[in-house]
A = this chain, B = another copy of it.
Amino acid sequence: MRYSEIFLPTVREVPSDAEIISHQLMIRAGMIRKLTSGIYSYLPLGYRVMQKLERIIREEMNRSGAQEVFMPMVQPRELWEESGRWSHYGKELLRFRDRNERECCLGPTHEEVITDLVRNEIKTYRHLPKNLYQIQTKFRDEIRPRFGVMRCREFSMKDAYSFDANEEGVDISYKKMFDAYCRIFERCGLKFRAVEADTGSIGGSFSHEFMVMADTGEDAICFCRNCEYAANLEKAEIAMPERRQISIEEFLPLELVHTPNMKSIDEISAFLHVAPKDVVKTMIYSADATPVAVLVRGDEVINEIKVRNYLGCDILEMAADNMIYDVTGAPRGFAGAVGIKARTIADYSLMNMINFIMGANKEDYHVKNVNIGRDVSVEAFADLRIVHDADLCPRCGRPLKFARGIEVGHVFKLGTKYSKAMNATFLDKNGREQYMMMGCYGIGIGRTVASAIEQNHDANGIIWPMPMAPYHVIITPVNVNDESIKRISEDLYKALLEKGIEVILDDRDERAGVKFKDADLIGIPLRITIGQKSLSNGKIEVKLRRSGEVKILAMDRVEYFVINYINEGM
């Protein structure tokens, strides 16, 4: 492509509304433009990168045995009623009525549509397993779209759905997708980790997120350097501590203390001259409208995702003042477990605590020397708090490492969640009707492109990994009005095109400095500079975008070097 012809509007200034580097660089490199809040157009350079990624995805999905389909974005309410998500999904599901007043939504994901399709067509185990995927536009009406295509409302996604006859089947399908995802991100040239993750609103029994590692990532993850364990921070498990032998003789007498207006752990511990770890926090939640008290050591933080999963409830929220008053008999800030009228669960951090301090269920009072068993009855000890850097690997007990990443892929074992709700059954070998076992698997296309930039850039712009680069080479004649420079540039351009190399010829009548800046900004891996100085020695300059290294090559060596360098990077 000739630079003079390509629609590639680069921008020198950092756009004021772009907070993160990938958003800034995608605007500046002329890859995307905003149409309206959270909705972007992809320009030719941006779309080329998307297509590179899509091609890798298709090859690996097909290799895994998945088959490509294409499902609609506009979906009827009825299907979403069947799965129960019409009422559960929240406002990210954009609902509207068509001209005939039929209620529809814009698909944020396609479990309903694919389950409907498959239940209508597959009736016997002989037609299972199947794995169907598409690359298609989704819409999620984010309350606060931000970070460019990283958290936008309309976006392209590869979503796949597997259907199996039994548990072993879905485990194989899941593993195939897990492996395909590893190959996809590897082939993209990205540094990534697969981590255990929460299943969120999609539901299902377990899941992994694929994280592109980047310091600027929204997600925190932890992983073990010793074993394979890796998890999203919100999911990361904490092993049950060993239970210490506690003798009742150690228990001190319960004691009410006046703590006027002291509600926070910090206030209490300072006032009573103890450490936060000697105090217990009692949090009252409304779990599907039923009160539950959750206890955690004062220096730890409750992980609500773990609480929700433990309770198996749909909606978990902090209890309102009246619910707190109902179960504690006191206003907010003085809740404790002694005599509480609610189901009570305790984090593992309480398991070996004795003689601790907690709210007295009485305004302006706490109690000291509380002991589980004697004063407080706990339904169970469980893993209910957020992991931190003092924690150890739940698998092997070695120290955990923490890092940040960007979620670009997510694989879920759904089990029968949707097949039960939507009655997707088949006849097994014995002629018995069974629910299909499902998995679902997503990759955000635009997100992956943006994450590649978060991971691969410098002060001058993007540094594309070769497999995602929109073009491999940019030829920069330093002066297009010089006949010999022009001729050699054109000849090289044609020679590289003939070899199937994706190349831009920067034929613009601009200063060399402007051209260099644009080449760096758009991140083309190789820049070939054609100027009088090196030409006079029969040499050509090739600059490697990633290392900044400059090679001075004999003219007849350039083609060979370029082809080799590209192949090595693929």
Contacts and interface: CB of A to CB of B under 8 A. Distances in A.
Contacts of A70: 41-42, 46-47, 50, 156
Contacts of A35: 71-72, 75-76, 113, 116-117
A33 interface: yes
A239 interface: no
Given A99-B143, A113-B35, A137-B137, A41 B69 contact: yes
A72 B106 contact: no
A102 B106 CA distance: 16
A47 B69 contact: yes
Contact of A137 (B36, B44, B73): B73
Interface bracket on A: 35 or more
Contacts of A100: 37
Contacts of A132: 7, 44
Nearest to A91: B99
Interface in A94-124: 94, 96-100, 102, 104, 106, 113, 116-117, 120-122
A141 B6 CA distance: 35
Interface in A61-88: 65, 67-76
A73 B71 contact: no
A96 B99 contact: no
Contacts of A69: 7, 41-44, 47
Looking at A7, A43, A72, A113, which has the most chain B CB atoms within 10 Å of its CB?
A72
Interface in A1-41: 5-7, 9, 33, 35-37, 39-41
A154 interface: yes
Given A6-B67, A67-B7, A153 B74 contact: yes
A130 interface: yes
A139 interface: yes
Contacts of A46: 70
Nearest to A42: B70
A131 B279 CA distance: 69
A74 to B, nearest CB: 5
Looking at A35, A113, A154, which has the most chain B CB atoms within 10 Å of its CB?
A35
A128 to B, nearest CB: 10
Interface string A376-408: 000000000000000000000000000000000
Contacts of A51: 68
**What number of copies of this chain does the assembly contain?**
2
Nearest to A67: B44
Contacts of A37: 100, 102
Contacts of A67: 6-7, 44
A141 B73 contact: no
Contacts of A122: 9
Interface in A116-172: 116-117, 120-122, 130, 132, 137, 139, 141, 143, 153-154, 156
Nearest to A156: B70
A367 B65 CA distance: 79
A76 B35 CA distance: 8
A205 to B, nearest CB: 25
Looking at A71, A74, A113, which has the most chain B CB atoms within 10 Å of its CB?
A74
Nearest to A65: B5
A537 B7 CA distance: 62
A75 B68 CA distance: 28
A76 B113 contact: no
A6 B116 CA distance: 18
B73 A154 contact: yes
A158 to B, nearest CB: 14
Nearest to A40: B72
A98 B94 CA distance: 7
A120 B7 contact: no
Contacts of A137: 73, 137
Nearest to A70: B42
B72 A141 contact: no
A185 B100 CA distance: 36
Contacts of A104: 36
Contacts of A6: 67
A68 B41 contact: no
B33 A117 contact: yes
B94 A141 contact: no
Contact of A74 (B71, B92, B102, B154): B154
B74 A47 contact: no
A75 B137 CA distance: 14
A116 B36 CA distance: 11
A70 B449 CA distance: 15
A447 to B, nearest CB: 15
Contacts of A7: 67, 69, 121, 130, 132
8 closest A-B pairs by beta carbon, nearest first, are: A96-B96, A42-B70, A9-B121, A44-B67, A36-B76, A91-B99, A41-B71, A39-B72
Interface of A: 5-7, 9, 33, 35-37, 39-44, 46-48, 50-51, 65, 67-76, 91-92, 94, 96-100, 102, 104, 106, 113, 116-117, 120-122, 130, 132, 137, 139, 141, 143, 153-154, 156
9 contacts: A35-B117, A41-B72, A48-B68, A73-B73, A73-B139, A94-B98, A94-B99, A96-B97, A99-B141
Given A39-B74, A44-B69, 10 more contacts: A7-B67, A7-B132, A33-B120, A36-B74, A41-B71, A41-B113, A73-B73, A73-B154, A74-B139, A92-B99
